[in-house]
Structure 1
């Protein structure tokens, strides 16, 4: 019986092919065969406006009849972000403010329909590449030879800069004082971030990205607000960067790196990733999308007690194994680096290519 497992790529050289896509149809400004840089704009579009329904009575904490008297703009008025729409009211001087630049399109009782223009959306390449295809209105396909490191989580942002490694070991704790002026504008590789001060310090330095092994889940809200991409190679908790990824990152220090911290989507194959462009004239194959579990395959453990450990499969066991939890599961014996041989359920393994 064959067993397919989740697959994470950590490749020193491969062909990276990515489709960049506008949220709505627009204008593509590049053509097939053209070379682009990381900051080049591939296409532009104007998404439709967003609408906000503002309840003045609830926002001001007064009755509906009173609320309408405190409205300071008429229908059709243009209002800037943060400008008062209604109020102030009471001792606490409560107000209702515009959530963004826009206009009041309708007023019904004490409720206001506020329209925010979508503005111009620019689709950037993200990494140096060759344009291999485009549909002319919405999508552009890019291809490049590069090192590739796929991660477990990202905060949804994207940027590009010089890679700097400040973690002496894969599990080093990131301290705010490590982030000094020399790292301004860099993509920083650290180990484990377990304090919000480090994330705020990175914001002050205007870093271009932060690559971590892991961080506690209570820092998610802060990571989603910072203006730079944050990538976790392992996930949440206190897990070091896996050895293959750490070795590739440290050997690539000083090179340009693209950090695409897209939020993981269960219906998409693409994941948060680091792309390290490599100048090469040779033809490199695309990475494999499916690898079966078999003896000799490198894997990473996804669950406790060996979560994050990397090793090589020694054997796929024929019969199900009974674990202390009472679960019977198909399993493999795995030679884990720094731990030894362990029996791990197949469901707890992912292939690390």
Structure 2
């Protein structure tokens, strides 16, 4: 039997080391796929220009299934549930229709939680498939349709700046970007969030308190891009109605200089935030897309970049977490660190720090 191994970005291949790649590009050709979870209908054609809010495909959302405890809901023993059933397997019901009951002095009933279908009834429990309605896929950013299969996927292309992060809360939106503060390490504070920022996408260095996150909701912010987010605020950020992207990591970590400079130089432009979860298996990351006029100088980003002399990197762990530098040498021998770890390492010239030796596992390529 043949054994198939899937190579991951951080695996060593011969003498080459392939760390994760994070893009911070002032100009690139950006292609992104929009895919329905189930086959549906594509609403655009190849070469069509679309805006961020345009629906490019729509179809039925994947159904949800719920178990309803009929015995408990009716207040009767399991063996008596059959007497009160008002629906059978395969029945299609509308929200609020009676599934079972009434029972007892209180005339207790169990009703359909939404439009849906009865899948099965067993041991006093009913499995109900809820209709989830129509799912609309929006373009997310101004682009040109360059590919589609006609039923499920649409490939979009634009030219612009691309900034990728390491954590996102799963939301997405599009709006005008504003920088809150004067530098890459400035904290997001409530006294800086006023009506002038209503409906904007906000950029700040650090957030270590929940108040400004909630205040941003009050001014209808379209999103927030941060360098660092306090780890205890992850559950708060995950529940927010707007996208949140963290570029550096969790803790009091500023935006790195390349990221801050690129974002601040494009303040006032319309940008797209896609705060998708980071997926190491396919390399997809939360990202900021800043559409720019097309030019012949733009290229597709490189998704695989071997670690070698001259490559720009960002440190992903302490003590220099978030620092950016350039690899000056790939050390031939593994380094024995005070922690007792023996690790393959590189000599890196860090901005503002100088030459330091870093385990390659602590590095990501910054293109």
TM-score normalized by the length of structure 1: 0.88
Contact (CA 8 Å) 2:37, 2:62: kept in 1 or not? Answer: no
1:137 offset after TM fit, Å?
0.6
CA distance in 2, matches of 1:113, 1:291: 49
Partner of 2:246: 232
Task: State the secondary structure of the residue aligned to 1:190.
Answer: strand
Q: 1:297 aligns with which of 287, 306, 311?
A: 311
Aligned CA-pair RMSD = 2.9
**Structure 2 unaligned blocks of 5 or more:** 1-14, 103-108
Pair 1:350-2:364 in alignment: yes
Pair 1:28-2:39 in alignment: no
Partner of 1:215: 229
Q: 1:320 aligns with which of 309, 322, 334?
A: 334
**Structure 1 unaligned blocks of 5 or more:** 88-94
Task: State the secondary structure of the residue aligned to 2:173.
Answer: strand
Task: State the secondary structure of the residue aligned to 2:140.
Answer: coil
Contact (CA 8 Å) 1:12, 1:146: kept in 2 or not? Answer: yes
Partner of 2:203: 189
Pair 1:166-2:180 in alignment: yes
Q: Residues 29 and 104 from structure 1, CA distance in 2 versus in 1: closer, same or farther, beyond 3 angstroms?
A: closer
Partner of 2:10: none
Pair 1:13-2:30 in alignment: no
CA distance in 2, matches of 1:241, 1:299: 14
Q: 1:50 aligns with which of 53, 64, 67?
A: 64
Partner of 1:79: 95
Task: State the secondary structure of the residue aligned to 2:202.
Answer: strand
Task: State the secondary structure of the residue aligned to 2:309.
Answer: coil
Partner of 2:267: 253
1:102 offset after TM fit, Å?
3.2
Task: State the secondary structure of the residue aligned to 2:156.
Answer: strand
CA distance in 2, matches of 1:63, 1:239: 57
CA distance in 2, matches of 1:187, 1:256: 9
Partner of 1:101: 114
- Equivalent residue pairs, number: 343
1:48 offset after TM fit, Å?
4.2
Q: 1:120 aligns with which of 127, 131, 134?
A: 134
**Which stretch shifts more, 328-337 or 10-19?**
328-337
Pair 1:206-2:237 in alignment: no
CA distance in 2, matches of 1:78, 1:252: 50
TM-score normalized by the length of structure 2: 0.84
Pair 1:153-2:167 in alignment: yes
| 1:219-261 C-alpha deviation (Å, 9 max, x unpaired) | 2222221111110001222211111011000000000100001
Partner of 1:90: none
CA distance in 2, matches of 1:198, 1:27: 40
1:210 offset after TM fit, Å?
0.8
Contact (CA 8 Å) 1:104, 1:112: kept in 2 or not? Answer: no
1:266 offset after TM fit, Å?
2.8
Contact (CA 8 Å) 1:39, 1:124: kept in 2 or not? Answer: yes
CA distance in 2, matches of 1:310, 1:176: 30
CA distance in 1, matches of 2:40, 2:257: 43
CA distance in 2, matches of 1:266, 1:346: 17
Partner of 1:268: 282
Contact (CA 8 Å) 1:335, 1:342: kept in 2 or not? Answer: yes
CA distance in 2, matches of 1:97, 1:238: 50
CA distance in 2, matches of 1:328, 1:286: 37
| 1:188-229 C-alpha deviation (Å, 9 max, x unpaired) | 111111122222111222211111112122222222211111
Contact (CA 8 Å) 2:86, 2:101: kept in 1 or not? Answer: no
Q: Residues 56 and 265 from structure 1, CA distance in 2 versus in 1: closer, same or farther, beyond 3 angstroms?
A: farther
1:40 offset after TM fit, Å?
0.7
**Which stretch shifts more, 137-146 or 112-121?**
112-121
